[in-house]
Amino acid sequence: DQQVKQNSPSLSVQEGRISILNCDYTNSMFDYFLWYKKYPAEGPTFLISISSIKDKNEDGRFTVFLNKSAKHLSLHIVPSQPGDSAVYFCAAQRLRLIQGAQKLVFGQGTRLTINP
C-alpha cells in the first residue's frame, strides 16, 4: 500500500528553465510534507518542507506547493542548475505527541537531470 507516490521516475530539464516535480499521497492524516534530495552513494538531504496548514513555502530557488483537496504537492526549482541533478524524494508524516513516533513515508523518487 503505497501512500506516497511519485509517478514520474525521471525528468529532464534545460538549464535555466523551471523544474516541476510532482507527488501524490493517499493518507489524509498526513500533516507535514518534505522534499529530500539525494546524490549517488550519499544519504538523502533535507531540501524544503511544508505544513498541511499552508499551501506554499518558498526557500530561494525552491518552492513547494500543497493542494490538500487534491492530495498533491509539487516542488518547483527555478532557475534549474546543473548541480540540481539528483534524485528527489517526496516524504510525508503524521505529527505525533510521542517523540520518535513520527516516521517519514517516502515516494519512490524522481531522477532530475539538468541539461546544460
Partner 1 sequence: DTAVSQTPKYLVTQMGNDKSIKCEQNLGHDTMYWYKQDSKKFLKIMFSYNNKELIINETVPNRFSPKSPDKAHLNLHINSLELGDSAVYFCASSQIRTGKAFFGQGTRLTVV
Sites of contact with partner 1 (CB under 8 A): 2, 32, 34, 36, 41-46, 49, 51, 87, 89, 91, 93, 95-106, 108-109
CB of 36 to partner 1, least distance (A): 8
End-to-end CA distance of the chain: 38
Least Å from the CB of residue 107 to partner 1: 8
Shortest Cβ distance from residue 37 to partner 1 (Å)?
11
Strand partners, 46: 36
Give the three-state DSSP class for 82.
helix
Instruction: Give 87 or 114: the residue with its C-beta nearer to partner 1.
Output: 87
The whole-angstrom separation of Cα 78 and Cα 98 is 37
